[in-house]
């Protein structure tokens, strides 16, 4: 079952990238929806689950410190490797920025691998937790496909290069899921890992997806899309009884 979910994440990434190539004018709505979904997963699922799993062994201050560390670590990773460069039409240096797109796509692929690992580890806690984390990853992997293609195309890469990196990024979550078949973690340690992923998701949603969804677009519909994404995850968690 976990392998099939990994393949579903691969498909979600491919669909996101294909959508980005064919519907560039509507990307802001998809990114807005993904932002709401990712942020909602962080606050409504990953953080409560991290507190429950790790709370018996670690104080709350330690768990929140790991969350903050995940946020800051991803921020540093983002800044050092130019994960989300924004090139406006009047930017003089964008013409020589192809390598930034490649570095960004590589980093997104690594992150997709970690997404897959998160799915595998979550299913080791329970099926319910695994399914909720899967919802988050599927929503985020769709946007990962969009972002991978967007990074390549915005930085002077062609469609062939965009498809190449999209395939790499799409395969990464399945490989991440498979990797968890070879190791396991205690419940308390897994709680800290989930706290770290919570920090990742908050950063990605608030610092990348939200600003990108509003970039040179009216805020009314993108805001509605963000609220819809958050509402979908909230309802999914309630239905799952978590």
DSSP string computed for 25-77: GGHHHHHHHHHHHHHHHIIIIIHHHHHHHHTTTS-HHHHHHHHHHHHHHHHHH
Give me the pLDDT at residue 92, please: 47
Paired tokens of 88? 């406006």
Are 140 and 201 a contacting pair, CB within 8 Å? yes
Give me the pLDDT at residue 67, please: 96
Q: CA–CA separation, 23 vs 175, rounded Å?
A: 28
Contacts of 203 (CB under 8 A, 6+ apart): 70, 71, 74, 75, 78
Give me the pLDDT at residue 215, please: 61
Rounded to the nearest 5 degrees, what angle is found at the Cα of 27, between the Cα atoms of 26 and 31? 130
Rounded to the nearest 5 degrees, what angle is found at the Cα of 234, between the Cα atoms of 194 and 67? 25
Are 197 and 6 a contacting pair, CB within 8 Å? no
Are 191 and 122 a contacting pair, CB within 8 Å? no
Q: Which of 207, 194, 185 is nearest to 41 (CA)?
A: 194
Give me the pLDDT at residue 89, please: 46
pLDDT tens, position by position, for the chain (242 residues)? 777 888 888 888 888 888 777 776 676 777 777 788 778 888 988 898 889 889 989 999 999 999 999 999 888 877 776 544 454 544 444 444 456 567 667 767 877 887 788 788 878 777 777 777 787 677 667 777 877 777 677 666 677 888 888 899 899 989 988 988 887 777 788 889 889 988 988 987 887 777 766 665 667 888 888 898 888 878 877 776 55
Paired tokens of 239? 């239905």
Report DSSP state, residue 91. -
Give me the pLDDT at residue 216, please: 56
HSE, CB side, 13 Å, CA atoms: give it for residue 178: 8
Please indicate, yes or no, whether the overall pTM of this predicted structure exceeds 0.85.
no
Q: CA–CA separation, 200 vs 141, rounded Å?
A: 14
Q: How far is CA 112 from the centre of its chain?
A: 7
Give me the pLDDT at residue 160, please: 82
């Amino acid at each position: 079952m976990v392998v099939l979910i990994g393949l579903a994440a691969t498909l979600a990434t491919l669909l996101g990238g294909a959508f980005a190539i064919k519907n560039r004018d509507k990307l802001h709505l998809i990114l807005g929806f993904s932002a709401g979904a990712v942020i909602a997963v962080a606050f409504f699922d990953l953080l409560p689950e991290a507190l429950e799993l790790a709370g018996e062994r670690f104080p709350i201050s330690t768990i929140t410190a790991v969350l903050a560390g995940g946020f800051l670590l991803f921020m540093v990773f983002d800044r050092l490797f130019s994960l989300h460069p924004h090139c406006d039409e009047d930017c003089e240096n964008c013409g020589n920025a192809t390598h930034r797109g490649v570095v960004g796509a590589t980093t997104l692929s690594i992150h997709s691998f970690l997404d897959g690992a998160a799915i595998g580890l979550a299913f080791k806690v329970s099926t319910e937790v695994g399914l909720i984390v899967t919802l988050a990853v599927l929503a985020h992997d769709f946007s990962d496909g969009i972002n991978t293609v967007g990074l390549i195309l915005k930085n002077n890469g062609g469609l062939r290069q965009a498809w190449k990196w999209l395939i790499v990024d799409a395969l990464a979550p399945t490989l991440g899921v498979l990797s968890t078949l070879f190791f396991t973690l205690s419940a308390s340690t897994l709680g800290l890992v989930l706290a770290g992923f919570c920090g990742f998701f908050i950063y990605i949603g608030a610092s990348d997806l939200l600003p990108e969804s509003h970039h040179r677009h009216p805020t009314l519909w993108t805001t509605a899309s963000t609220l819809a994404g958050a509402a979908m995850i909230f309802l999914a968690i309630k239905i799952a009884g978590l």
